[in-house]
Amino acid sequence: MTVFIALAVVMTLLALAWLVRPLLWPAKGQGVSAQRLNASIYRDQLEALERDLARGSISAADCEATRDELQLRLLDDTEEPAAVAGAGAASVLSARLTAAAIALLLALGSAGMYWWLGTPAAIDPVAAQKASQDQVAQMVQKLADRLKTNPSDTQGWAMLARSYKVMRRFDEAEQAFIKAGDVVNTSPDLLVDYADLLAVRANDNIEGKPLELVNKALALDPQHPMGLMMSGVAAYRRNDFPVAVAQWEKLLLLLEPGSADAQQVEANIADARANAGMPAAPKSSAGAEAGKLPPVDAAAAGAMTPEKINQMVEGLAAKLKANPGDLQGWVRLARAYKVQGKLAEAEDAYAKAGKFVDADADLLMQYADVVASRSGKLEGKPMMLVKKALALNPKHPMALMMAGTDAYARAEYAQAVKFWETVLPVLPPGSKDATLVQSEIADARAKGGFGLQLKP
């Protein structure tokens, strides 16, 4: 914005200088003077008179008389006219006043016209972002006002509920879901959205009504991805590990083989199997080429091969070059690159996802993990991303773990214990992760010199 204003001022000053220059510095007169012209004529006549006298054409007396007459006429014709007092000063003053008036009118007029007809907010990114948010808020408010006059529009209430949820207006979102009525009960997506909202309001507790809604969604669509994930999480938290394994294995078949989501679900399944005393799931063969995705289980992937997966990643990258505004596409590409081990490309893809990543704590932590893996340390950009994630979700397990690890590395043991004790209630009691965190808390307390916390 500052650059634009500076350019506008320079252009205005140039135009102003071009307009007022003739008034302040008028060009000097270059015309022929009447006095000089008359003097030149009489000089020629005197020279002709002298030539006539030399030839004897006229007498000396006639020559003298004619010369006197010419000189008298010359005095009359070359006499300066009387100057008008103060005319020059008045002319200069008038020119300066005119120039000042033009300068003032041009500056004020151009600024006023731009402010009236232009769009000053367009050159201010903060104002533009606020205008966009205001526009979305106005659209949501219009929908809410319309539903007040037409409360039977259940689809409208469902749309309003989702909008309120995105805006984090959870109380109003829940009321809108209730008013949507039967349309929610017939849509697996709406049921899961409603369940997720209630779980968020209950501090990420899925038990109770959220789980009832998830079960309704799975009854309508047994392969609903979000429903399977939430059902598995609920089972895991109540130590029903076989059910968690069953739900997550169904989910795994729906995910892109080798993707970051698939790897996370595989890790969850392995942990649940270990807690349940079940045999480990068969692993895919290792030894893939560097930068390529490893082979995947044939039962899960069907005809999918590593070559086809790599072609899919390359095709997605080419599509995003032609459509760089697809922020979700950049996230998918970042995850794929991370799985392939292309960390530099993954970091660049996360950066291009921009605001889509900044609004999601899970994506921020995936981004932080990539940056930390590249640099081999948590300080700097990784911790900046961790802090953003904690601002969105103060109980995000991975963010709390990384924050605790960073504090421990800086010998800030009390801070590390604070982060790890916050994450401990989120972890399933008795799980490997919970045991590991308890061990790290004990170690940090010992090094910090404030001993073990006594349990009642």
Q: pLDDT digit string (tens) for 66-94?
A: 777 767 666 665 555 544 444 455 555 56
Contact 294, 258 (CB under 8 A): yes
Residue showing tokens 């007092």: 85
Contact 154, 183 (CB under 8 A): yes
Cα 426 to Cα 121, 145, 146, 395, 400: the distances in Å are 45, 40, 41, 8, 10
More confident residue, 215 or 118: 215
pLDDT at 333 over 80: yes
pLDDT above 60 for 428: yes
Pairwise CA distance, residues 260 & 282, whole Å: 18
Decide if 302 contacts 295 (C-beta within 8 A).
Answer: no
For residue 213, the 8-state DSSP code is: H
Highest mean pLDDT among 85-99, 154-168, 210-224, 295-309: 210-224
Name the residue with higher pLDDT: 390 or 313: 390
Q: What percent of the chain has pLDDT over 90?
A: 8
Q: Which two tokens stand for residue 58?
A: 């006229």
| Cα dihedral sign, 80-82-86-88 | negative
What is the rounded average pLDDT of the residues 356-367?
Answer: 86
Residue 231's pLDDT band (cuts 50, 70, 90): very high
Q: Which residues contact 349 (CB under 8 A, 6 or more apart)?
A: 330, 331, 333, 334, 337
The pLDDT, as a whole number, for residue 134 is: 67
Q: Of 22-36, 47-61, 145-159, 395-409, give the lowest mean pLDDT range.
A: 22-36
Check the CA dihedral 266-270-276-282 and report its sign.
positive
Query: pLDDT-based confidence at 158, cuts 50/70/90?
Result: confident
Biggest distance spanned by C-alpha atoms of the chain? 152
pLDDT of residue 27: 56
- CB-neighbour burial class of residue 381 (10 A; exposed 0-12, middle 13-18, buried 19+): middle
End-to-end, the C-alpha distance of the chain in Å comes to 61
Residue 214 has pLDDT above 90, yes or no: yes
CA pair distance 134, 130, nearest whole angstrom: 6
Residue 447 pLDDT > 80, yes or no? no
Tokens of 183: 């349309």
* pLDDT digits 0-9 by tens, 182-208: 888 888 899 999 999 998 888 888 999
Give the start-to-end residue ranges of the domains of the chain. 138-179, 187-273, 313-393, 398-456
**What CATH number is given for 187-273 in this structure?**
1.25.40.10
In this predicted structure, the answer to whether residue 169 has a pLDDT above a threshold of 60 is: yes
Tokens of 134: 């205001």
Residue 10 has pLDDT above 50, yes or no: yes
Query: CB within 8 A of 360, min separation 6: which ones?
Result: 392
Strand, helix or coil at 217? helix
The residue among 298 and 271 whose pLDDT is bigger is: 271
Looking from the CA of 333 toward its CB, the CA atoms found within 13 Å total 25
Q: Does domain 313-393 have CATH number 3.30.930.10?
A: no
Task: Quickly tell me which residue has 């069953």 as its tokens.
Answer: 246
Alpha carbon distance 12, 6 (integer Å) = 10
In this structure, the number of other CB atoms found within 10 A of the CB of residue 39 comes to 14
Q: What is the distance between the alpha carbons of residues 412 and 447, in angstroms, rounded to a whole number?
A: 10
Residue 114: which residues within 8 A CB-CB, separation 6 or more? Answer: 8, 120
Q: Note the pLDDT of residue 213.
A: 93
Measured distance CA(127)–CA(59) in Å, rounded: 100
Q: 313-393: same fold as 187-273?
A: yes
Quote the DSSP letter at residue 394. T
Please tell me the distance from the alpha carbon of residue 372 to that of residue 382, in angstroms, as a whole number.
6
If you count DSSP H runs as helices and E runs as strands, how many of each does the chain have, helices first? 23, 0
pLDDT band at 303 (very low <50, low <70, confident <90, very high): very low
Q: Is the pLDDT of residue 209 over 50?
A: yes
Contacts of 401 (CB under 8 A, 6+ apart): 419, 420, 423, 437
Q: How far apart are CA 386 and CA 59, in angstroms?
A: 121
